[in-house]
Structure 1
Amino acid sequence: MALTAVHVSNVPNLDQVAKKASLSLYSTRCSQGLELKMAASFKIPKFLVIGHRGHGMNIVQSSDSRMTAIKENSILSFNSAAKFPIDFIEFDVQVTKDDCPVIFHDDFILSEENGTVFEKRVTELCLAEFLCYGTQREAGKEGKCLLRKTKDGKIVKWNVETDDSLCTLEEAFQKVEPSLGFNIELKFDDNIVYQQHHLIHVLQIILQVVFEFAKDRSIIFSSFQPDAAQLFRKLQNNYPVFFLTNGGTELYYDVRRNSLEEAIKVCLEGGLQGIVSEIKGVFRNPGAVPKIKESKLSLLTYGKLNNVPEAVYMQHLMGIDGVIVDFVKEISQAVDDMIKPVKAVIAEERLSQGNGETDAKSKLLFSQQELSFLLKLISELIQH
């Protein structure tokens, strides 16, 4: 059955609900704050490092022990990430059948009973059912086993070195280090066409929790679902909303999801503040970065290449505003080692130029011509 399109102009505004929410998205880790004005202007004052699903995503059959160290999207993962000099953690929020926002990445929970593997959609579970899977909070209580499907379709046990229980959005606000910002992905199934009233209901439920428990925490919202992203921007003016995209690395029926140029259109039409793109999409199309900046949009990236320090440094030179990473320890340290010294060099060079001096350390910086060459080289490599 064909479903009606979402018309955000017809959506009621929830600004009156946001009395407790701060218009200044201030974080002690982001010393200048993230400023969001009612006119939708948005400024990221520094290069951000964001922990993917907290301390990093799980790949249960990975030979890299860092991918199975701590259960992703858990309170333990979030607070473990907070031990490093990162600015935000990213995590996925869905709403259960009984209207509770919970944190979980996959659309389905996989488990096993009496030798039979089954899957249940997260949004069709009530909260009590959702929380009964995996490690339990209560001592001596055993939860139902959690399985996970690998990229090649195998179903394996979701084993990690340090496990933790599933959690709700409310718990994250209450139990995670308060100086750590949240990048909350509004999670929807790629294979479902959602009706407007359903999207509004889900987003309102999430907003209620945010307005009640967020306090002064810095928050950025994002979604791959373009209608949900535009609706969320319509429903509130307190927090920036970014549109998530694969940047053309994968193709979808909804053309709005198939390129950075389309992502720009989604943002401008819906008054969104920025784009979060798969880094391969940016490296394949580096010319989109100045277009994004000219549109006064912020740009963050995600993807495996963000676990490579040199790729992160290149993004800093390109003017990208931040990266979502799995290896929070290594990348946060690399950012400290590579980016902060360069900023110091620039400041020192400006002072020394007044005395007719030049600093040899400035050779660490690429000229515009060198940067253009590197971008073309990367683009060619990524295409193949």
Structure 2
Amino acid sequence: MNWDDVIGIRDTELVSVDLLHFDTNNPRFTPDRRPGEDTDPAIIAELARTADLSELVQSIGTSGYINIEPLVVVVRDDKLVVLEGNRRLAALKALRNSDYARYAKLSAPEFGDEIRATFENILVYRVEREEDARELIGFKHINGPQAWDAFAKATFAARWLDSQLEAENPLKLIDIANRMGDKHATIHRMVTAYYVLMQAERMDVFNLEDRYKRAFSFSHLYTGLSYPEFTEYLGMPKPQRDQDPSREPVDTEHADNLRFLLTWLYGSKERDLQPVVRSQNPDLGRVREVLRSKSGTKVLEQTSHLDDALITATPKDRRFSKHIVEANGQLRLAMETLDGFEPETQSELQEIVNSAFKRVQLIKATVDVQMSGLEASKEK
């Protein structure tokens, strides 16, 4: 088909919905939000699950589609692909095809022929190249009502930055961040983490599809990479915000370390390994503590047991202080509820109390002896 006969470049025209196709490269389709197939039903179902499509379906189905803001389209592989407006396209396709709506578990309101007629031809604006629409799309989805998540933003910004490699007047990442309306420091961290993931896939040390959980916590990685313990473990130079992120940020000699780190963050379905970082707080900080210790790091690499690695990484004096403070706190709480002891039903507690008392005596004797020795050495 000669698309110029349908709509010219940089023109805005009414186009049949039947001619419009979803953007299967949509940055919104992050690893945990990717449709199972590149088909209309699968894409509509995924947007219904992750992008509040039901609300839009109800609104359009009740009031009709209003051609105010055009969808942005481009010709790709001889198809008219929607770069901006995939949610609206999904809502229209669901309203036009009840099978699609049922598959996506969408409930559409009753509407008559007058409303249905508004679903047929919609306003679109055609760009010549995908990069011509980046600034508009980036700003809208960073700040708009349906903002993308962090990985989608990182993907969009990284693709934009990659497109500048052969540009006559290339943009820096700070320029792209400004056009997207986001803070440069945030985008820089996200794009750096994105390049780390892409490098891991190229090096065949980690695959996002192999993560243990469907949910993908991208923030674990870009937050971790802001700590020197993480970047040093990967042989990465400290990211410089006045420079664009490297597309090969990890030293190749640290490929095994990259595999370990990403597995700690995201696990492995194939190896049946759960991530050791269950929640960013406190587990990411605990991994950071482990990475400060060579012995602790070795334990984590060999066992993937964060608690064991943390014990190894924590000096005994710190562990002793921590346990004593915690035990004292628990004893205080026990004293506050001492009147709750019932000899007739809790007689076994006497043995536990006696055991605790002996331990306290031993600890006290040891502490007293060592403190006496310290005072004696000071007097000399």
Q: TM-score, normalised by structure 2?
A: 0.31
Higher helix share: 2
Q: TM-score, normalised by structure 1?
A: 0.31
Higher strand share: 1
Higher CA-based Rg: 2
